[in-house]
Structure 1
Amino acid sequence: MHTPALLPSMLIGAVASARSMTPMAALAGAHLTGRETPGRLWLLGRPLFTAGALAMGAGELYGDKMKSAPDRTVFLGLLARVMSAGIAGAALAPRGRERAGAAIAVGTAVPLAYLTLAGRKRAMRRIGQTRSGLIEDAVVVAAGLATVALALRRR
């Protein structure tokens, strides 16, 4: 089956809409296993950034369950999504199409952040913050890992 060239960039943008650091953590994990991305992998080629991306990914999963966690649509939350989606979208795009991959990822992440937030708030009312967060974590982390695996398998 042929995967459209920029589909992984769009999917990683959807992942970033719910968890801003998961795209970077998924790419860092792939980098540690010696896998190469189709597009250029900015920053994560350096060990300090790889370790930082993994730590921030884990920290975000923990911090999201806190009562004081801000909504993902506040300025800094959206900025983190733009940066993470842009870097990851570029890395998952075919070589030479990194800018298009970044644009598609960002264009997916920002509007979907509002939709995923609405869904999370609805789930929080029904099953609570921690349980809804754990379920969202499982779905988003699985989607992030699957997206990266899909893009790396294409090479």
Structure 2
Amino acid sequence: MRISALLPSILIGAVSSARSMTPMAALAGAHLAGRPTPGRLILLGHPLFTFGALAMGVGELFGDKMKSAPDRTVFLGLLARVMSAGIAGSALAPRGRERTGAALAILTAVPLAYLTLAGRERAMRRVGQTRSGLMEDALVVAAGAAVVGASVRRRGLG
């Protein structure tokens, strides 16, 4: 199997590094649109988790702008990234390669969390917390939607 087959898992890990709930929200949106993922979609097959993922994705976008928002590299922030990247990376991996997809997504998300935090801190010094957060939101949400959208469409499953 070529690494390109696992590229969506790696890319969704990068998305998770900046916004932990965006991958889950993007997958929930694809699920609601009837677009199956290549790998098994763990948890999001249940309506409670589907709508919960969407709500948490939106909530994270608002919460990130608060002055009291913790850094993404605190323990709970990294744990959320590991869980989200693992589930999303598994769902976007080819059938039978879910564990590899999950591992690659996690191995991408955790170190990139530190790099995306450094970039955000630089942007905050230049344009402030709210504006930098909105710019990061636009980039990350678009990337998450693009990775998930291309993955379900590219594989001809939808």
Please report the TM-score for the alignment, with normalisation by the length of structure 2. 0.96
Map of 1:59 onto structure 2: 59
Map of 1:99 onto structure 2: 99
4+ residue runs of structure 1 moved beyond 3 angstroms? none
Map of 1:135 onto structure 2: 135
Map of 1:85 onto structure 2: 85
Map of 1:4 onto structure 2: 4
Using the TM superposition, give the Cα deviation of residue 87 of structure 1 relative to its aligned residue in structure 2, in angstroms. Answer: 0.1
Map of 2:119 onto structure 1: 119
Unpaired runs of 5+ in structure 1?
A: none
Secondary structure of 1:81's counterpart equals helix
Using the TM superposition, give the Cα deviation of residue 24 of structure 1 relative to its aligned residue in structure 2, in angstroms. Answer: 0.1
1:33-72, Cα deviation, whole Å (9 max, x unpaired): 0000000000000000000000000000000000000000
Using the TM superposition, give the Cα deviation of residue 154 of structure 1 relative to its aligned residue in structure 2, in angstroms. Answer: 2.3
Number of residue pairs the alignment of both structures matches: 154
Unpaired runs of 5+ in structure 2?
A: none
Q: Aligned partners of 2:110 and 2:42: how far apart in 1?
A: 21
Q: Aligned partners of 1:150 and 1:11: how far apart in 2?
A: 11
Using the TM superposition, give the Cα deviation of residue 3 of structure 1 relative to its aligned residue in structure 2, in angstroms. Answer: 8.7
1:73-117, Cα deviation, whole Å (9 max, x unpaired): 000000000000000000000000000000000000000000000
Secondary structure of 1:4's counterpart equals helix
Map of 2:110 onto structure 1: 110
Secondary structure of 1:5's counterpart equals helix
